[in-house]
Chains A and B, each alone.
Chain A
């Protein structure tokens, strides 16, 4: 179980304080896996870092029962000048007893299937190879909750199939908090969704509902997110709206607009896949 209360995080950048999110409170029960949604830069990775305990919040508390993995992602956690084997030895020396270290490394080596690259410096790896090693390493240990930050989206078809399989197997006694822009993967493993938008977190009890909202917010960021919550904490929209009658005739103009955008996005995705 993870219980978060009044979590606020900001960064100090060039003399300005930038708030990532403010006053987040939520509870994740045992047996619930969460898809963390939101546009790029919404604070998903920051939230994972806070949950994983490798960054500290300005205010607020996080209570955890059980063990939580480090945020498994493509960046961080690996020393570029060392090989995968050396990096893994480092982590295994901390997280397992001395006699298990070699078994764990063997497990990750077999899982990653990156051949001789396993003994080359980590900085020479492609993002696919990185994700194989990073994901394999986290799966070598039994955590109650895994924090997975877009690590499966960089791999090829074979790796994705493998990771899907292993996640499903782990799902029996572990939970996930996943960030992934490949929404299909989320659908397989998660049963709830949290959507981060403009410093707020919206909870959805059904994943598909969350994904719908997430998609529409991507196309129209100024859209109100408050309709699920009480209207009093609605913020004035940061982006000036182009629709003067928005209050009177809601949704009509934006919908027409966004359906066009959807078709554009779709075609570009198809192109991207063929490359």
Chain B
């Protein structure tokens, strides 16, 4: 029964010492994330009425309000794209990014009690939240697309792969940002107030309710660095290939964004994990 492995405490590895000696590390992390996703969903569901449907209803209502406002007052500005899909891509993608990044700020506090179990590390709470948010907004996007499909009665996704890829890459970018933000918020608590404010302007800079084509040529370079805008434009193009894509918008850029963000976030996290675990 007793294992011969031993562990020096100062290297906070997740290998031995808590009754899981026979389980490979990646499997332990998988279990931890699975458990955290379970607990995340349970808390969400327990906070609202009507179970899981209730969790979906709130963002759906927000979406419909936006759809109504922009649909009515701004008229159809989506060009060849259905205005519903145009806005849905913008709002869902922006909210996905924003929620993952901002919820990561509180991921540690919300799971404080669960760090009692040594396999649970701060990084797992952020990953779990990113997974839950992605799943939630993917479902919402599916519901909206299905709704539009029922109304329009025609094929409305020309490149499914491009849609999924831009969604996932944006989620990964947000995960990297979320990790950095969590560490920063832990080291400098005032960050927790500042970060949400800092993210607010992104709403206007990400093309949620305009297309990059719709703004003057000379301003476009200042906006197209933004991975959220890139992902949104790519998604719109994925719905309907005749939606015009600026030259500066490319999947390659988004891939680089996701990788850089994730690498940076993980780097920041790994260098500060000891700090996060010390109370």
What are the interface flags for A119-139 relative to B under an 8 Å C-beta threshold, 1 for contact and 0 otherwise? Answer: 001000000000000000000
In the complex the two chains form, is A77's CB within 8 Å of B8's CB? no
Q: How far is the CB of A177 from chain B (nearest CB, A)?
A: 14
Q: For the complex, count residues of B whose C-beta is within 8 A of A.
A: 41
Q: 8 Å CB contacts to A: which residues of B14-68?
A: 16-21, 28, 31-32, 34-36, 38-39, 42-43, 46-47
CB distance from B5 to the nearest CB of A (A): 8
- Number of residues from A at the complex interface, CB < 8 A: 41
Contacts of B31 in A (CB 8 A): 93-94
A154 within 8 A of partner (CB): no
A43 within 8 A of B: no
**Are B20's CB and A53's CB within 8 A?**
no
Q: Measured between alpha carbons, how far is A50 from B277 in the docked complex, in Å?
A: 11
A90 touches B46 (CB 8 A): no
A66 to B279 alpha-carbon distance, docked (Å): 25
Q: How many A-B residue pairs have CB under 8 A?
A: 119
In the complex where A61-B8, A77-B116, A93-B38 touch, is A144 in contact with B2 (Cβ < 8 A)? yes
Chain A nearest CB, measured from B187 CB (Å): 13
* B-contacting residues, A53-97, CB 8 Å: 53-57, 60-71, 76-82, 86, 89-91, 93-95
Verify if B150 is at the interface (C-beta below 8 Å from A): no
CA distance A30 to B3 in the complex (A): 12
**Cα distance A81–B10 in the bound complex, in angstroms:** 33
CB pair B35–A93 under 8 Å, yes or no, is: yes
Q: Does A52 contact B (CB under 8 A)?
A: yes
On whether the beta carbons of B116 and A65 are closer than 8 Å, the reply is no
Task: Determine if A82 and B116 form an interchain contact, defined as CB atoms under 8 angstroms apart.
Answer: no
Q: Does A103 contact B (CB under 8 A)?
A: no
Given the interface contacts A78-B113, A144-B1, does A55 sit within 8 Å of B8 by beta carbon? no
Instruction: Mark the stretch among B117-125, B129-137, B246-254 that contacts chain A.
Output: B117-125
Residue of A30, A79, A89 with most chain B CB atoms under a 10 A cut-off: A79
Question: Are A53 and B3 in contact, CB atoms less than 8 angstroms apart?
Answer: no
Query: Measured between C-beta atoms, what is the minimum distance from B109 to chain A in Å?
Result: 12
Residues of B within 8 A of A57 (CB): 9-10
B18 touches A79 (CB 8 A): no
Residue ID in chain B nearest A86 by CB atoms: B42
Interface residue B274 (Cβ < 8 Å from any Cβ of A): yes
The answer to whether B46 and A66 have CB atoms under 8 Å apart is: no
Chain A neighbourhood of B36, CB < 8 A: 90
In the complex, whether A141 has a CB less than 8 A from a CB of chain B is: yes
Contact check: which of A55, A64, A95, A141 meets B278 at CB < 8 Å?
Answer: A55
Q: Which of B20, B39, B115 contacts A90 (CB 8 A)?
A: B39
**Given A11-B279, A57-B9, 17 additional A-B pairs, CB 8 A:** A53-B18, A53-B118, A63-B6, A64-B6, A65-B2, A66-B17, A67-B18, A67-B20, A68-B18, A69-B18, A70-B118, A79-B39, A82-B46, A89-B38, A93-B34, A95-B18, A95-B119
Q: Report which A residues bind B (CB closer than 8 A).
A: 11, 30, 50, 52-57, 60-71, 76-82, 86, 89-91, 93-95, 121, 141-144, 173
